[in-house]
Amino acid sequence: MTRVAILGYGNIGRAAEQAIKAAPDLEFAGIYHHNDCLDCLEADVVLLCTPTREVPKFAAVLAAKGICTVDSFDIHGQICDLRAQLNPVCEANKTVSIISAGWDPGSDSVVRALLMAMAPKGITYTNFGPGRSMGHSVAAKAIDGVKNALSMTIPLGTGVHRRMVYIELEDGADFKTVEAAILADDYFAHDETHVIAVPDVDALNNVAHGVSLVRSGVSGETHNQRFEFNMEINNPALTGQVMVSCARAAARMRDRGEVGAKTMIELRPIDLLPGEKESLIKALV
């Protein structure tokens, strides 16, 4: 049994615990917190369910101890840097770090790679939502006069999104002033944005999310090849599950000596699944 521990215990950590316990081939190796001493940690793989900015630090510390990690690091522009930074540490310590292993980046990346292999020329549009954007919610909450905020991402197609920003005002704050400040903020200035005052933001909270990946492309010389991948999911539950499936892959890769820092498009899909190769091929191929 592969022993899988969790570092950090927010929404994703809790979902990951459930996914580990539901897996027939994994053993739950406990929860650790950011300030715990990690020297006594006993696990084959640690899931980094910390805030995304803390991932690089913990991944490097654990890789240096020869422990596999899986994270859902989601700052798209910094993924290659994280991979380049972790890769030599993993190689030196004969371990595996699977990075950016949520749904986007993560499973969506695998779908995008597959669609490009099926129709190399063309455009893939990634349409997010409807669902909460953490980054935009935090940006709205930082505006003067905003007590609490929820920014929903609404897909308008071809990768264009509307922002529906629900805000709870501080006592005495002026709605029009706050609205103008939100619309001028760099997070919102480039998208169609609607600001709505509500008495209680928390009453609107919902971890549902979704995506629609759309590609029209060319296979060989044949145009008009059309593809679409849609999902409507509980966001932390899916993120936690993808991380747990990647924990299995990390342990298998380390056992085969395939060490290093890897993104999900560098993994064999069969390694994500429990069970024997032959029966998986029989069931899925």
Spatial contact of 34 and 10, defined as CB atoms under 8 Å apart: no
What dihedral angle (degrees, nearest 10) is formed by the CA atoms of 185, 188, 193, 195? -40
> Should residue 59 be labelled a site residue for its own copies when binding is judged by CB under 8 A?
no
> Should residue 209 be labelled a site residue for its own copies when binding is judged by CB under 8 A?
no
Considering only 238, 247, 250, 251, the residue that binds its own copies (CB under 8 A) is 238
Residue numbers 117-156 binding its own copies by CB under 8 A: 117-121
> Should residue 83 be labelled a site residue for its own copies when binding is judged by CB under 8 A?
yes
> Should residue 26 be labelled a site residue for its own copies when binding is judged by CB under 8 A?
no
Q: Determine the angle formed by the axes of helices 55-64 and 79-92, rounding to 10 degrees.
A: 10
> Should residue 43 be labelled a site residue for its own copies when binding is judged by CB under 8 A?
no
CB atoms near residue 181 (< 10 Å): 17
> Should residue 224 be labelled a site residue for its own copies when binding is judged by CB under 8 A?
yes
Amino acid at residue number 197: A
Distance of closest approach, residue 145 Cβ to its own copies, in angstroms: 36
Spatial contact of 2 and 251, defined as CB atoms under 8 Å apart: yes
Query: Which string of x and - marks every residue 256-285 that binds its own copies (by CB under 8 A)?
Result: -------xxxxxxxx-xxx--xx-xxx-xx
CB atoms near residue 22 (< 10 Å): 10
> Should residue 22 be labelled a site residue for its own copies when binding is judged by CB under 8 A?
yes
CA atoms within 13 A on the CB side of 29: 21
Distance of closest approach, residue 237 Cβ to its own copies, in angstroms: 3
Q: Where are the alpha helices (DSSP H) in the chain?
A: 11-22, 55-64, 79-92, 107-118, 134-141, 175-184, 235-255, 277-284
Considering only 60, 75, 154, 237, the residue that binds its own copies (CB under 8 A) is 237
Considering only 113, 169, 181, 197, the residue that binds its own copies (CB under 8 A) is 113
Q: Which is nearer to its own copies, 77 or 172 (CB)?
A: 77
Distance of closest approach, residue 209 Cβ to its own copies, in angstroms: 11
> Should residue 15 be labelled a site residue for its own copies when binding is judged by CB under 8 A?
yes
> Should residue 33 be labelled a site residue for its own copies when binding is judged by CB under 8 A?
no
Largest CA-CA distance found in the chain, in angstroms, rounded: 66
The tokens for 285 are 């191929």
CA distance 17 to 187: 33
Residue numbers at the binding site for its own copies (CB under 8 A): 15-19, 22-23, 76, 79-80, 83, 100, 103, 105, 107, 109-114, 116-121, 218-222, 224-234, 237-238, 240-242, 244-245, 263-270, 272-274, 277-278, 280-282, 284-285
